[in-house]
Amino acid sequence: MTAQTQYETAVARYFEAWNATDAEARAKAVAAAWTEDGSYTDPLAAVSGHDQLAAVIAGAQEQFPGFVFQHTGTVDGHHDTARFTWELVSTADGSAPVAGFDVITLAEDGRIRSVLGFLDRIPAAPTA
């Protein structure tokens, strides 16, 4: 497997985890995507380990029901690190209120060791 293919495979597994809505399927997808001590950090969360990762994903799904994470653009990687962009897309109307880019670091087995997430577009907070 080429390094680029390894990055693309890791990113595909990452989105499988973020889009798994069934708790059991999500747990399996998280285990396939991340190492046991894998971490995820963005402006809203800093967690590590499969249970906490699955909980953050479940929380995002509860906050945005009927939305899926979609990879946009290409995966760019080197030295076990890759970056990619994504959008959170409504399955009802195709709107994408949230977008960002993530940077992943891979372990030797090709699973994700860490994710640093950046939010480029988020919905405005409701005003009173």
- What's the CA gap between 17 and 32, in Å, rounded? 8
Query: Does position 1 have pLDDT exceeding 90, yes or no?
Result: no
Mention every residue, 6+ apart, whose C-beta is less than 8 A from residue 1.
9, 110
Output the CA–CA distances (angstroms, integers) from residue 99 to 53, 68, 86, 108, 120, in the order listed. Answer: 19, 11, 6, 29, 5
Could you read off the pLDDT of 47-98 as tens digits, one per residue?
Answer: 999 999 999 999 999 999 999 999 999 999 999 999 999 999 999 999 999 9
CATH topology for the 3-121 domain: Nuclear Transport Factor 2; Chain: A, (3.10.450)
Judging by DSSP bridges, how do beta strands 34-42 and 98-106 pair with one another? Answer: unpaired
pTM over 0.85: yes
Contact of 69 with 18, CB cutoff 8 Å = yes
Please report, as a single letter, which amino acid is at residue 56: V
DSSP 8-class letter at 10? H
Query: Does position 46 have pLDDT exceeding 70, yes or no?
Result: yes
